[in-house]
Chain A
């Protein structure tokens, strides 16, 4: 059972604490306040556990004070493979005799399977295997739910055969949205009820807080469902040799996928090897082996031939996860001097069939001394949620940060000033009190006008701001380093590169530690034959893997020093490795080149295993984002003009790839705010936009100017940065739209129809 509420204690805990949603059939616990992520919790004594003390080895090999490579702009080492097409993703693996698999899926959102007839499909040309994934009598709970599977010798013939599978369904009642599911007169579609109460909360004295308040806002806020849209669809190439399976999987976790495949196939995990050399995007939806992986492996087992099963774009939208919706009916108060008092929220959200919203840390970050919450997980007949880039945070951030601007207006305070006033006093790494003024200055916040752009004409501009936090951290990664007599260095680690640059930073940290250029190191990752690492989720990869790489390389180097020291007539502990040489620390002339040093190994290879230890990484990351938008009040179109993202990222490993992640996070948040929307037909419950044409994503002409300020904090060690920057821009955009138009914008996406309606409402007297 996933538990989104738990953040890893510093230097401990599971590698992907936020990451592992989507357990079939079970809704994640709902509604509880996040601990570390909701920074506001800290003053109440619920913050992250204090960091574990650094280990002795970490103290011996701290991150270098004067690094050569760390923190510089190191080009992605696999860049040339990616730009030339040489990089082989799961989609690109072609094996001798390989078949193509396909899943037959329910077209209906809820039905009982009456019969499945595979006979015509089995007789079709080229078909080598077919089976029922579900048996007659079973229910399908959403459009796209798996029913049967088939494999044939070409993809075209596989698709033909899939069309020949005859499935009879008995349609059952369904819910296409939360309103339908929450209707008290609705039929019971989900066993145990269509909704499930989440954790309630009652802290302080909510009514006393409202009594102190000079202003109270009562309003409803909502964020919608979006899907991950990984460009490489979920996929597997499965090949058996006897009872052993080799699976090329498009996954964020080779080890979790190994476990999932073993469990799904009922075979020992030791019989499964998972390989992921390159992976075309996951964003949380590929943390485990999905149904398609097990189905592909089963088809291969049946046909005794390799099988490639790649989902098509429609299947991706329907059945590979989504970001749950989140709504909250909120009542919040503020005193005349701008101090937050009470926050009361009845929240809900859906993560599809039998799944809720999980973690929803509201109120986000800010300190409301009195809080009262109820929560309802709502089940609808859609594909089930999976973690998506900082699960719960984009929703909670929007629900809170839009309210914050409205409250600031009530007390006639500047939104930045209001945030600083109400930011938690002391939260690990949450440097809002410095980020906000610094960002405001850089952004030219003093040019912000009060709510409602007074400029004549249809184009209104506005500024918005929002802040975010994330836990991250990670531990447990193991690594193996070989130093060979010819000077070769290989660092092996069973982590994977989901696009963040993991392969590059594995090589970078190894090279830094050994005093070598990055080109002298081979980084081998993405294979369960390498030492264990966790899934790449929750922004845990770098903080979990980099200490392991550092210490493993350091141990290997120690072993080399022992070999080299006698030849120099010194003791091993006087040696250092810099600039391609091993030499006495205080006498650089007394040493040998790396090559010559390795020659002392003779027939030996230095072969060292080591793992993560505390002291080189930490948890918690925070940031603030500012934006300026232009709203065309005659069409309702919002254009983002510029963005400033201030991001804390601890020790920067590779500045180039770190910045890329921040750009990417910001753009992802813009897509959430403006374009993306999974739209289910309210009557039939079927998705109307399961493609990339009507499921809108920003293109080049939609991308504004984006400035990044990286807050280097090398003393904190490595923290992950994949998720935090995706959190807050959407709320900042909504706040900017409100600043531009004066109209209350309380839900996403910011579709023109919503903007025009809000402007109309505002003209008619407004809600503010």
Chain B
């Protein structure tokens, strides 16, 4: 790890100021992702700006929804009663993040903004697009955990955030501040598919901007289902997962939100699955049809075709959970 200077600002204003007036300055939340990258010389900031004291660490009711500070620890999100009552898929995702230690230390903001787990990105030897190189090693290499959607390139990572997926599904907005002011970005517009121009990042956040809050609208009456497929049951990254929110009109699904995780460079909204659900009644057959629809547009790489089946299953079982049906 390269030596760096450390700043511990007390508020948002000081934090964004501290991010500006240095060579390469980066925020540190829980720090588990960035410190690992720094130890591996993937990231080498001149300055780390601690944002844990500067940013909000509370969960506050607002307009029938919730406003979640970026400095909230994942464990506190996972165990928050209001969150689990209003947004059960967020609780379900949060409790599966990493390990107890990771949840104790990791923050909501850090989870959203963590960098890819792609093993080419995470190893110094592979000078890939995301490290300023001119290739992605996945298509010709070991791509069993890479994307099956959004695979136009140039990068084939899957987005690492578990929380981003239900945040997007619940229509969250992210509050973002910089020295020049603040803005709100819908989660749906926050994450970016890679292009040669933006491939160094996974979202629209500028270097001197900080994500300060996740603002969740009132959820209304809905059915919720979340399903993660993991190779190991203990600490592991899901092979694929799905979060499903269904609004009902009597016995019929009137609207559906289906977002997939670990399958694309961004949290992947499946409009195909949503269309397959709307107007149908809750049943295993409906769930299976949604699963089939979800993967119709999949474009796997050479070694991750199995993720199509895994994703199909995740969607089906998330819908079944929303329907209150037994999954396995």
Query: Contact residues of A with B, CB < 8 Å?
Result: 107, 143, 156, 159-160, 163, 457-459, 632, 634-637, 639, 675, 679, 681-684, 686-691, 693-694, 696, 698-702, 751-753, 756-757
Q: Which residues of A contact B236 (CB under 8 A)?
A: 696
Q: Which residues of A contact B229 (CB under 8 A)?
A: 635, 637
Number of contacting residues on B, CB 8 A?
36
Closest 3 CB pairs of A and B: A699-B234, A753-B306, A688-B119
Contact B231 A696 (CB under 8 A): yes
Interface status of B280 (Cβ within 8 A of chain A): no
What's the Cα separation between A756 and B231 when bound, in Å? 13
What's the Cα separation between A701 and B234 when bound, in Å? 5
Residue of A nearest to B291 (CB): A634
A159 smallest CB distance to B (angstroms): 7
What's the Cα separation between A683 and B140 when bound, in Å? 7
Q: Which residues of B contact A163 (CB under 8 A)?
A: 41
What's the Cα separation between A314 and B268 when bound, in Å? 33
Q: Which residues of B contact A686 (CB under 8 A)?
A: 123, 125-126
Residue of B nearest to A691 (CB): B122
Residue of A nearest to B309 (CB): A756
Given A690-B123, A694-B119, answer yes or no on A636-B306 (Cβ-Cβ < 8 Å): yes
B229 smallest CB distance to A (angstroms): 5
Contact A683 B309 (CB under 8 A): no
Q: For the complex, would chain A's binding face be called helix, strand, loop or mixed by DSSP majority?
A: loop
Q: Which residues of A contact B41 (CB under 8 A)?
A: 163
Can you name 26 A-B pairs with beta carbons within 8 Å? Answer: A156-B3, A159-B1, A457-B328, A458-B328, A632-B328, A634-B309, A634-B312, A634-B313, A635-B309, A681-B141, A682-B140, A682-B141, A682-B142, A684-B137, A684-B141, A686-B123, A688-B142, A693-B235, A699-B232, A699-B233, A702-B233, A702-B234, A752-B231, A752-B310, A753-B144, A753-B303
Contact A702 B232 (CB under 8 A): yes
Given A156-B1, A675-B231, answer yes or no on A635-B125 (Cβ-Cβ < 8 Å): no
Interface status of B120 (Cβ within 8 A of chain A): yes
Q: Which residues of B contact A159 (CB under 8 A)?
A: 1
Contact B125 A675 (CB under 8 A): no
Query: Contact residues of B with A, CB < 8 Å?
Result: 1-3, 41, 117, 119-120, 122-126, 137, 140-142, 144, 229-236, 239, 303-306, 309-310, 312-313, 316, 328
What's the Cα separation between A693 and B114 when bound, in Å? 15
Given A143-B125, A698-B232, answer yes or no on A683-B239 (Cβ-Cβ < 8 Å): no
Given contacts A458-B313, A684-B126, A700-B234, 9 further A-B contacts (CB under 8 A): A160-B2, A681-B126, A683-B141, A689-B119, A696-B231, A696-B236, A699-B232, A702-B234, A753-B306
What's the Cα separation between A446 and B144 when bound, in Å? 38
A161 smallest CB distance to B (angstroms): 12
Q: Which residues of B contact A691 (CB under 8 A)?
A: 122
Contact partner of B142 among A679, A696, A700, CB < 8 A?
A679
Residue of B nearest to A686 (CB): B125
Chain A CB within 10 Å — which of B2, B3, B234, B304 has the most? B234
Q: Which residues of B contact A636 (CB under 8 A)?
A: 306, 309-310
B37 smallest CB distance to A (angstroms): 12
Q: Which residues of B contact A684 (CB under 8 A)?
A: 125-126, 137, 141
Contact B137 A698 (CB under 8 A): no
Contact partner of A107 among B119, B120, B125, B313, CB < 8 A?
B125
Residue of B nearest to A636 (CB): B306
Q: Which residues of A contact B235 (CB under 8 A)?
A: 693, 699
Contact partner of B233 among A160, A634, A639, A689, CB < 8 A?
A639
Contact A752 B233 (CB under 8 A): no
A684 smallest CB distance to B (angstroms): 7
Q: Which residues of B contact A637 (CB under 8 A)?
A: 229-231
Q: Which residues of A contact B234 (CB under 8 A)?
A: 698-702
What's the Cα separation between A531 and B233 when bound, in Å? 47
B88 smallest CB distance to A (angstroms): 21
Residue of B nearest to A754 (CB): B306
Q: Which residues of B contact A639 (CB under 8 A)?
A: 233
Q: Which residues of A contact B232 (CB under 8 A)?
A: 675, 696, 698-699, 701-702
What's the Cα separation between A43 and B123 when bound, in Å? 52
Contact A701 B142 (CB under 8 A): no
A397 smallest CB distance to B (angstroms): 24
Q: Which residues of A contact B305 (CB under 8 A)?
A: 753
What's the Cα separation between A534 and B328 when bound, in Å? 52
A683 smallest CB distance to B (angstroms): 5
B103 smallest CB distance to A (angstroms): 14
Q: Which residues of B contact A756 (CB under 8 A)?
A: 306, 309-310
What's the Cα separation between A689 and B126 when bound, in Å? 12
Q: Which residues of B contact A107 (CB under 8 A)?
A: 124-125
Q: Which residues of B contact A689 (CB under 8 A)?
A: 119
Q: Which residues of B contact A757 (CB under 8 A)?
A: 306
What's the Cα separation between A248 and B137 when bound, in Å? 41
Contact A635 B310 (CB under 8 A): yes
B313 smallest CB distance to A (angstroms): 4
Contact A751 B233 (CB under 8 A): no
Contact B137 A681 (CB under 8 A): yes
What's the Cα separation between A689 and B306 when bound, in Å? 20
Chain B CB within 10 Å — which of A457, A686, A698 has the most? A686
What's the Cα separation between A683 and B125 when bound, in Å? 13
Contact B142 A681 (CB under 8 A): yes
B241 smallest CB distance to A (angstroms): 11
A87 smallest CB distance to B (angstroms): 23
Contact partner of B231 among A143, A459, A690, A751, CB < 8 A?
A751
Residue of B nearest to A108 (CB): B125
Q: Which residues of A contact B119 (CB under 8 A)?
A: 679, 688-689, 694
A635 smallest CB distance to B (angstroms): 5
Contact B137 A683 (CB under 8 A): yes
Q: Which residues of A contact B2 (CB under 8 A)?
A: 160
Q: Which residues of B contact A682 (CB under 8 A)?
A: 140-142
Q: Which residues of A contact B304 (CB under 8 A)?
A: 753
What's the Cα separation between A649 and B129 when bound, in Å? 55
Q: Which residues of B contact A698 (CB under 8 A)?
A: 232, 234
Residue of B nearest to A688 (CB): B119
Q: Which residues of B contact A702 (CB under 8 A)?
A: 232-234
B102 smallest CB distance to A (angstroms): 11
Contact B3 A752 (CB under 8 A): no
Q: Which residues of B contact A683 (CB under 8 A)?
A: 137, 140-141
B272 smallest CB distance to A (angstroms): 19
Chain A CB within 10 Å — which of B122, B229, B309, B313 has the most? B309
Residue of B nearest to A685 (CB): B125
What's the Cα separation between A672 and B12 when bound, in Å? 49
A501 smallest CB distance to B (angstroms): 26
Residue of B nearest to A760 (CB): B309
Q: Which residues of B contact A751 (CB under 8 A)?
A: 144, 231
Chain A CB within 10 Å — which of B41, B235, B316 has the most? B235
B195 smallest CB distance to A (angstroms): 24
B112 smallest CB distance to A (angstroms): 19
